Amino acid sequence: MSAREYEDELRAEQEYVTGLYARLDAERARVKARYGAALRSPVDVTNGGTLVDRDAEVRTLAREMQRLDVADHGLCFGRLDAVSGDRSYIGRIGILDEEHDFEPLLLDWRAPAARAFYVATAASPEGMRRRRQFHSRGRHVVEFTDEVLGRPDGTDPDSRGDSALLAAVNAPRGDGMRDIVATIQAAQDEIIRLDHSGVLVIEGGPGTGKTVVALHRVAYLLYTQREQMERHGVLVLGPNSAFLRHIDRVLPSLGETNVVFTTTGDLVPGLHVTAEDTSDAARSKGSLRILDVLAAAIADRQRLPENPIPIELSGVALQIDAETAAWAREEARASGRPHNEARAVFREIVTYVLTERAIGRIGKGWLSRSDRKAWEQMRTELLEELAQDANFTTALDALWPVLSPDSVLAELYSSRERLSAAGADPALWREAGDAWTVSDVPLLDELVELLGRDERVDLAAERERKARTEYAEAVLDSLVSRADHMEDDELRLFATDVLDAEGLAERFVERDTRELAERAAADRDWTYRHIVVDEAQELSEMDWRVLMRRCPSKSFTVVGDLAQRRSSAGATSWDAMLEPYVPGRWVYRSLSVNYRTPAEIMAVAAALLAEFAPGVQPPDSVRACGVQPWSANVDSGELTSAIEEFERGEAGRDGTSVVIGPPDVPGAVPASEAKGLEFDAVLVVEPERILADGPRGAAELYVALTRATQRLGVLHRGPLPQALAGLVEVAANSASPEVGCQRGG
């Protein structure tokens, strides 16, 4: 089209988008008014209303306001023109024309009708003749690009279909990951919309977008399965806190908030663990063989008395001997209950033996077993006496103690004798038993299952809850009874009293007003409808055992790259890790296009990959930038100044930068903490030391090299590893690139 025609089209598109924003503003005002009214409205208990009902309405309206707020940025980003002449606009949310039979004015990107926007090609147009993409700033449409579809040879002199994608991948990075809702590619869209209820594995090399695809898949599932998904929420598991901060804006930007973000070190509420084990200890703890060790450690605490334990009952001298304890232990173990819950069985057998012996002696000569009523009456009295007997309680605690997960594990680790008795790897010993590592978290979680609840604590909590509930019910019954005898005018005057009285009742009955994500994160027994696992190659067999418990439906999106595995307990194949848990219920998809790393940088990383994982194909970069990654040889005195020079050079540029290196390098982060992140510029310091850490070191260096979207530099003090021979060597005093990738490559 001519320049004038283009300007006319641009003006028309702006008018349409302005109309969409007007409707968005109107809807937002309406919801805000309803939200305010709901907050102020009294609760009509005479018609069955409760504060819980009002809270539910307030929360629903709050979520709707948030959904409308996030839609304000990039509300509409494209248009589809069908061969039939129909026209559809695509955006973050759906907007309907309520005045004209609810015709869609804007299609939600997740709607089936919007799929063609992402998958239509020249050769396979999906019934479309044109795809138009908008470039907007705020509410202003700056420009648009058209791609004419339906031409098998792909020829179209006006087509600029890749411009939106290239603009996005070349744009400077900010503080967090951005959504890709406007630039989803066909291969990514296929995975996002995949209809599979089990485990979906998405594997891809660095920069292939696997993480952001997984997050958009969650948004899609929340759109298509709203009721089921919102009831239990979604868990997103990442490798570290920095990674979670990097990605935690994506789902809220798509209007979804019922999501818990956590790491493996935070899976047990109340614990925040970041320390790591040695490779040997991590491998031992991560294997399912550790289950036998944990079971043996618990069994070791279920003891028989070395000498009979004396118990006096109603003046009769009795004892708990090894034979009695052995019988009780056998019955308790055979019950199949967790250890703490099986204590009741152990206690029952021991008390049975003691009371039978006591009755036999006390009633000797006058009490017959056939006198069942008298026999049971005496037993009841003796049981009450035993319950108050401190010696008996002490004996029970010695033979079958109430155990906690942390005490069992800490005492196991700090005792070579206990480790040996449990058949554990001696590498697990440490002086401070409770110096928890990330590998301990799944073991602590497993021990919750093996030990079960402390029934004494549960009974006390239940008694307190019951008392509060009964009091609250009495208060509310009184209110309703008073209301039944009032006239309409009196009821209106009574509204304030009702609210005050309900508030009084609620002092005795706790109402959980937290959002779903807060409640789920604090509840170890919470189960999720769907779980996303990022950097999944790092998870051990025990990690997976924990996650499978958290999701009974076994609905997962698993993201990873086996070539980047650094954990000795991690996955060597997806089949070996998943098949035991979801046999026949997992599918595999791969992504092979690198949207992050320029071809020049990827060539260097690919050379390293070929050395430590020769069978793995590196991803293909979508663009080149014309800037070669460089290296500089520095001595100890030059290292700090070279790092500072890099930082000064990047301070004047748009975007982000990072220094990655060994822990003792000032200002550097380890590669493990940069996993999943991306920066415009990366400086890798002393790669020879990173690489020296064996197979794990090679994987970490590969991660470090592939974090850059624009510029990569390397500082080395020792010989440069042969795998990095593709770097351009520069003088130490000029160790800073001058230009970045050019749009379009």
**Rounded distance, CA 745 to CA 742, Å?**
5
Q: Map tokens 């990442």 to a residue.
A: 238
What one-letter code names the amino acid at 347?
R
**Rounded distance, CA 618 to CA 514, Å?**
45
Structure tokens at 396: 């029970």
Contacts of 279 (CB under 8 A, 6+ apart): 568, 696
Q: How far is CA 190 from CA 152, 195, 590, 604, 723, in A?
A: 21, 9, 11, 30, 36
Looking at the DSSP bridge assignments, the partners of residue 148 are: 130
Contact in structure between 128 and 82 (CB atoms under 8 Å): yes
Strand 620-621 versus strand 593-594 pairing type: parallel
Tell whether 208 is in a known binding site: yes
**Rounded distance, CA 715 to CA 735, Å?**
8
Beta strands in 579-721 (DSSP E): 586-591, 593-594, 620-621, 630-633, 657-660, 679-685, 708-716
CA nearest to 256, candidates 36, 58, 64: 64
Q: What is the DSSP letter of 179?
A: P
Tell whether 740 is in a known binding site: no
Tell whether 211 is in a known binding site: yes
Q: How many CA within 13 A on the CB side of residue 551? A: 28
Max CA distance (Å), the chain = 118
**Rounded distance, CA 15 to CA 21, Å?**
10
Tell whether 48 is in a known binding site: no
Residue 389: exposure state from Cβ atoms within 10 A (0-12, 13-18, ≥19): middle
Give φ, ψ of 635 to 5 degrees: -95, 180
CA nearest to 559, candidates 177, 276, 278: 177
Contacts of 62 (CB under 8 A, 6+ apart): 35
CA nearest to 588, candidates 563, 621, 560: 560
Tell whether 629 is in a known binding site: no
Contact in structure between 188 and 571 (CB atoms under 8 Å): no
**Rounded distance, CA 251 to CA 257, Å?**
7
Q: How far is CA 207 from CA 126, 164, 594, 677, 703, in A?
A: 28, 17, 5, 9, 10
Residue 620 CB neighbour total at 10 angstroms = 12
Give φ, ψ of 182 to 5 degrees: -85, -15
**Rounded distance, CA 177 to CA 187, Å?**
20
In which element (H, E) is residue 543 found?
A: helix 541-550
**Rounded distance, CA 509 to CA 465, Å?**
8
**Rounded distance, CA 424 to CA 617, Å?**
39
Is the four-CA dihedral 209, 211, 212, 215 of positive or negative sign? positive
Q: Map tokens 């998943």 to a residue.
A: 578
Structure tokens at 291: 């289950």
**To 5 degrees, how large is the angle CA 425–CA 427–CA 431?**
120
Structure tokens at 25: 């503003």
What one-letter code names the amino acid at 495?
A
**Rounded distance, CA 618 to CA 593, Å?**
9
Q: What is the DSSP letter of 720?
A: P
Tell whether 466 is in a known binding site: no
Contact in structure between 219 and 111 (CB atoms under 8 Å): no
Tell whether 209 is in a known binding site: yes
Contact in structure between 451 and 278 (CB atoms under 8 Å): no
Tell whether 204 is in a known binding site: yes
Binding residue ranges: 204-211
Binding residue ranges for ATP: 204-211
